[in-house]
Amino acid sequence: MNIYQVLKRPILTEKSDIQRDNRQYVFEIDRGANKLQVKEAVEKIFDVRVESVNTMVMKPKRRRLGRRTIVTQPTWKRAVVTLAPGERIQEFFEGV
């Protein structure tokens, strides 16, 4: 898998903003990607050293459209990437 296909987008929420202070960055990743591929992609794209990667599959959420129609969002996977001490990713997260 190409390293640019592994990372889909950064997750920018209040919780991920708090985690950034602890050198942790959250990304939505491809469902077929493993921890080693995520580590390699982050290190090559952002030119940083990765200390650890935690991945989790997020359950689909159900919501209603009208009275009877129930729509299910697709299952997706996210990764929490912890960087080595002294490292920062500045492209997406600077000024947010």
Is the pLDDT reported for residue 6 higher than 90?
A: yes
Is the pLDDT reported for residue 92 higher than 70?
A: no
Which of 91 and 46 is assigned the larger pLDDT? 46
Rounded to two decimals, the pTM is: 0.86
Mean pLDDT score, 69-86: 96
pLDDT of 65 reads 93
pLDDT of 11 reads 94
**Confidence bin at 90 (pLDDT 50/70/90):** confident
* Interval 17-75: pLDDT, tens: 899 989 999 999 999 999 999 999 999 999 999 999 999 999 999 999 999 999 999 99
pLDDT of 93 reads 63
At which residue do the structure tokens 């159900």 appear? Answer: 62
Q: Which of 4, 43, 37, 19 shows the shortest CA–CA distance to 93? A: 19
Domain map of the chain by residue range?
A: 3-83
Task: Identify whether the C-beta of residue 27 lies closer than 8 Å to the C-beta of residue 10.
Answer: yes
**Which CATH topology does 3-83 take?**
Alpha-Beta Plaits (3.30.70)
